[in-house]
């Protein structure tokens, strides 16, 4: 398996679970610190960039699945500014497109891309704040 975002909040437990279940995990490492953490978790770190399809080709070759868990969520203090989301938007658009193209080219059979949905109370015609509600509505 090839995983992006393997050292992030979601990626760390996913890598641990997959390695513990006996899967061979190859993970994108953007720096030597991340590479060390991945090795310690039992994954094989590979140097690649979501924005460089050639490096992705080499990193993903011989993988049966891609788990695209990479994000760059801005800190809460900056999250209300549109420009704070620029890197995350690029990861989710250009980076995802590159991964999908490489997956199709290499005939990778499984591509997992998580999503998130916030449930807001009905506010009629009032504006809905973009921040998650303080008391999320239960999903029934």
Per-residue pLDDT of the chain (140 residues; tens, 9 = 90+): 999 999 999 999 999 999 999 999 999 998 999 999 999 999 999 999 999 999 999 999 999 999 999 999 888 888 888 888 899 999 999 999 999 999 999 999 999 998 876 666 777 887 776 665 565 555 54
In this structure, what are the phi and psi dihedrals at residue 37, rounded to the nearest 5 degrees?
-60, -40
The residue written with tokens 């998130």 in the block is 116
What confidence score (pLDDT) does residue 55 get?
A: 96
What confidence score (pLDDT) does residue 136 get?
A: 54
Domain residue limits, the chain: 2-112
Superfamily of domain 2-112: NAD(P)-binding Rossmann-like Domain (3.40.50.720)
What confidence score (pLDDT) does residue 68 get?
A: 97
What confidence score (pLDDT) does residue 75 get?
A: 87
How far is the C-alpha of 68 from the C-alpha of 3, rounded, in Å?
A: 6
Q: How many CA atoms are closer than 13 Å to the CA of 40, on its beta-carbon side?
A: 8
- C-alpha 68: how far from chain center: 4
Which pTM was predicted?
0.80
């Amino acid at each position: 398996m090839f995983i992006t975002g393997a050292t992030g909040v979601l990626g760390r437990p996913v890598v641990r679970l997959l390695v513990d279940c006996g899967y061979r995990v190859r993970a994108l490492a953007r720096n030597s610190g991340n590479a060390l953490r991945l090795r310690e978790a039992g994954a094989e770190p590979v140097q690649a960039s979501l924005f460089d399809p050639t490096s992705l080709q080499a990193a993903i070759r011989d993988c049966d699945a891609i788990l695209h868990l990479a994000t760059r969520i801005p800190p809460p203090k900056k999250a209300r500014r549109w420009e704070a989301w620029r890197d995350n938007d690029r990861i989710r658009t250009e980076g995802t497109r590159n991964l999908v193209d490489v997956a199709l080219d290499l005939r990778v059979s499984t591509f997992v891309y998580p999503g998130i949905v916030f449930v807001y109370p009905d506010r009629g015609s009032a504006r809905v704040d973009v921040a998650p509600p303080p008391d999320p509505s239960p999903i029934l």
